[in-house]
A = this chain, B = another copy of it.
Amino acid sequence: FNITCVPQTNPSPVWTWSCQSDRCEKQLVVEGETAQALDACKLLCGEYRVLWPKPTGLVQLGTSIAIISQHAITAELSRSGRELSPKVAELFRGATKLFRDNVVDLGKGVGPIRSVGRSLLIEATITDTETASFKSNTDESYRLEISETTNGRINSSIVAATFFGFRHALETLLQLTIYNDVTQELQILDKALITDSPVFPHRGILLDTARNFISVESIKRTLNGMAASKLNTFHWHITDSHSFPFEVESYPQLTQYGAYTPSKVFTPADIRTVVEYARVRGVRVVPEFDAPAHVGEGWQWAGPNVTVCVKAEPWTSYCVEPPCGQLNPTNGTVYEILGEIYKEMFKLFDSDIFHMGGDEVNFNCWNSTEEIVTWLSNKGLGRQEEDFLELWDEFQTKALNKVEEANGGASLPIVLWTSGLTGKGHVEKYLDKERYIIQIWTTGSDELIGELVNKGYRIIVSNYDALYFDCGFGAWVGEGNNWCSPYIGWQKVYMNSPYDIVTNLGVNLTSDVRAQILGSEATLWTEQVDDSSVDGRLWPRSSAMAERLWSNPAESWREAEYRMLHHRERLVQRGVQPESLEPLWCLQNHGYCYL
């Protein structure tokens, strides 16, 4: 075959990289020598090469590279396996098409791909032929083997319990595939054997689309980054006091009054698009409808006293940030509307858990509303904290009934934020540990975390001192820096181990306790974020969390640093706009950017 017609944009590079002591060292090309591309060197150098997150099982990686052709990548189901259900078969086709597209994109913006090379066959065995929805107990493990057949084909055999494990294997396979910018070829490691499964089952990102609107396009980019980092849960904080972008067909007034503009709305079709886009990327979309606080805009049509304190002034007396607003637990219309909202959520989303929010209820707001005060008095209650907790319990109980009604009468795990309701001495009274999962948002040294675990609650850790990605910017009310400053570097995110948090609080890490610690979510509250900046806030820091949750590495961020720099560039290739962590010089000069 003839390759002289292929343009050579970089015929004679002066630099080459060679692997020395597990580092790719940049060196001048010696006359007569051929330069080795940085990515090719990295694919062959170091225990984990460029894998992110690093696998937890067997990792046997070859020492040479094969050239593959972008036109000869195929995937098929192993003949010994059973037939996939139509839905899983569709996911299989979608995920393998994505793999092919992603391989071809490796060269995008860098150079042309020479069409020479071997064929790559992916042979898959998926044991569970039915599971097409990611659930809290979904088996995400996989076994990936790369080998060469006698006729020169590259075989990649993937065995996974579920589609979701299979999909993770494709990500790993993609990470072992590079575009070589010196030879302008697609290349793959010609030998590998990896067994892998995550340490924590719950690995998520929370995105708030109400403080500022975040478009479906941005959500899709977020899901691209999640897929590339093997995160599995997109927690959609879809409404808040500031705006109500979630279109509810039975109550169109909610968005008519509550959306920022008529175009800043999520239609049912938008939601379905997101759920399916996420599914094929191994991500479950968990909706949050935050109540009874964090409501306001969108409810103005519902009549007096359905919501209270909306836009109340001075806001500092009635809530934590403008605008204020809470539901009125004593008003029947509240539950009527909530019931419909929940119903439509259960119709559109496909999640085995539901998030009811429940944070930052302001008792002074309720205390300043006559209807509520009368209700308390009629119940023989006073107006102290304990009394308002009873009122809150009234809300939580009734709202939960509506959630279960929307879920076809069946109960399901409910997530709630840490709050007054989850505090010492209250939590067992109000929240059944079999039913409620508590999402921690206080600091990682909050004793409450230890107490909750000791009491048997399952927890999701989103401690704000490590996982609130909105921290560190300018204040948006007043001046100076925002409340949870400083900015959290990826190093701190990486070191934020849920197990360490719990053991540092004196809890013995038994296997029961481990099972209670479901994982973490990086949270992005969007008071100061919209489509323009959402990617940079989330990435690559969410990937740092992803390795913590998947691999729970014993080593520090220092050992992960240069793989992190590489993975950050991978996110760029996947269409994400991540923050840059260091000069590109550091990626090209492994080990020289230290302190």
Contact = CB atoms under 8 A, between A and B. Distances in A.
A110 interface: yes
Contacts of A28: 300
A14 B255 CA distance: 11
B477 A491 contact: no
Contacts of A529: 580
Contacts of A14: 256-257, 301
B585 A242 contact: yes
Interface stretch (A42-50, A197-205, A258-266): A258-266
Contact of A584 (B15, B243, B481): B243
A62 to B, nearest CB: 27
Q: How many copies of this chain?
A: 2
Interface stretch (A78-86, A500-508, A530-538): A530-538
A579 B204 CA distance: 24
Interface string A288-313: 00000000010011000000000101
A473 B487 contact: yes
Interface string A483-518: 001111111100000000000000000000000000
A554 interface: no
Given A181-B261, A212-B584, A487-B473, A594 B533 contact: no
Given A9-B263, A212-B584, A481-B486, A322 B530 contact: no
Contact of A477 (B311, B533, B594): B594
Binding site secondary structure of chain A: loop
Interface in A125-168: none
A333 interface: no
Contacts of A257: 14-15
A527 interface: yes
A577 B477 contact: no
A575 B486 CA distance: 29
Given A28-B300, A260-B588, A593-B322, A481 B489 contact: yes
Contact of A532 (B213, B242, B526, B580): B580
B260 A593 contact: no
B212 A583 contact: yes
A237 interface: no
Interface string A566-584: 0000001000111111111
A6 interface: no
B311 A584 contact: no
Contact of A474 (B9, B213, B256, B487): B487
A535 to B, nearest CB: 7
B477 A595 contact: yes
A311 to B, nearest CB: 7
A478 B580 contact: no
A485 B586 CA distance: 21
Contact of A577 (B533, B557, B584): B533
A189 to B, nearest CB: 23
A13 B255 CA distance: 11
Contact of A311 (B300, B474, B492, B589): B589
Nearest to A492: B479
> Which 5 residue pairs spanning A and B have beta carbons closest together?
A474-B489, A478-B595, A532-B577, A477-B595, A242-B585
14 contacts: A13-B262, A212-B580, A243-B585, A260-B584, A313-B592, A475-B595, A476-B593, A477-B594, A481-B486, A526-B580, A527-B582, A530-B580, A530-B584, A533-B577
